[in-house]
Structure 1
Amino acid sequence: MGTEGLPVLESPRKVAPKDARELSKVFFDRLAVMEEGTHEYQYARNTLIEMNMSLVRYAAGRFRAARGDEMEDIVQVGTIGLIKAIDRFDLSREVEFTSFAIPYIVGEIKRFFRDTSWAVHVPRRLQEARVELAKATEELSSRLGRAPSVAELATLMDLSEDEVIEARIASNGYNSASLDAAVGSDGEDDGEALADFIGVEDPALELFEDFHTLAPLLVELDDRSRRILHLRFVEELTQTQIGNELGISQMHVSRLLSRNLERLRKGMLAQA
């Protein structure tokens, strides 16, 4: 045992997810009674972060297709969400930390995508030049059977070579690929394009995201509010039946339901 009776883990990131869930409960239990800012507190907090990095990698992996070469940045942003979840988690709420943390992690990643469509600030004229450069490159590549030179691009685009180079540099601030691009490493056109490999959206995925967004919001409700929601939407009781079980009027049940549903709705919209 190490600091404050906690186990010493040489490589917290190598702890299996199943073991991490159980160990996290131990660390959260001790963290709740430690004085913030102490060495013991920092050890427990940092170990929780390292042990639960698998949650960040899982969430980040869902965005790999969008910006695959920025995975390191996405993981770093997701880690911020993980840290927020650790700092706000309350073990007494009796909710799994995994369910609590995922919405925070995904929320941070989504904000990153929303705020960084371009990885760096690029003047509008260069953003427009990037589009023209892509078109010219595709046209000349098809015509010449090879990658065009800067001089050839400059002639076609009616720009100076320096302007073509500048546009190329600007294009590094944004990543895109045509859905009509042929797939295959041999360069032969077999009639298959990238778009052919894009699957349909699974409705269950949206339900999964909604559930994990809702979980921490439910934790913030009082016990009676959560009980009413459970009776109404899980056990599917009527408002009158709920009132009879809790000893309150049907109108009171209706008001409580409306108030809490509105609170949950606003909370989910705020994280969208």
Structure 2
Amino acid sequence: MITKELWIEYKKTGNLKLREKIILQYIPLVKYAVGKIIVKLPNNVEYDDLVEYGIIGLLDAIDKFDISKEIKFKTYALTRISGSVYDELRSQDWLSRSIRKVSKDIKKAYIELENKNGKIPTQEEVAKYLRINVKKINEVMAKVNLDNMFSLDDDLYDDSGGKTSLKELVQNNQESAQQKLEKKELKKILIEQIKELSEKERLVITLYYYEELTLREIGEVLEISESRVSQIHSKIVFKLRKKMMVNYSKYEGVVD
């Protein structure tokens, strides 16, 4: 059994024997994750290949696991393992094209309904608009890993010749002094908008963009489902992007 003391020792020393012990302990978790994924895939997908991709995710999880956080390694690793498998499947285009199309339709529906009604649509409204059920939306999001279907990474401004993203304004500690100066006014506005969010919304932003937790991990922290976290995240980004677009015209030219 992998104890907290063993984790502490491994993180301090990087001992390869301890690393190997951790890997062997969690290989069954890789096989479990792969077993859940492969049943949704075509018959030509090889189980052993997926296990290899999953092991890559496990190794990544071991390297990046922060023992100071109140998250079980099993929960953290499962997310990384599944993500690694899905990343490889996407890179080899093994996921169904129809699934990709539906995912694009979902994103488009969110945008069209928000523009039409002036408010963030619910999952139920999107399902009705697309004439599919909510379960189908959740299945598609799970299969193509749409944690970032609506993201602060999206370009905020596409038509002015220059563009930035909300994430750059929130998380820009690696920018040059000149870049920080140029974006100062927009960042100030963004900070004010974030202050107006509810406590839960601010927590989601903090955990996702600062602590870099996945939506599933955030769900564990908040004790809500991953799909609910995804809804909250999408709603926040819609809200922030809309308000920032209104203010951008006042500062046109600020962003290079």
TM-score, normalised relative to structure 2: 0.39
Question: Which protein has greater RCO, CA pairs closer than 8 Å, 6+ apart?
Answer: 2
Q: Which has the larger radius of gyration?
A: 1
TM-score, normalised relative to structure 1: 0.37
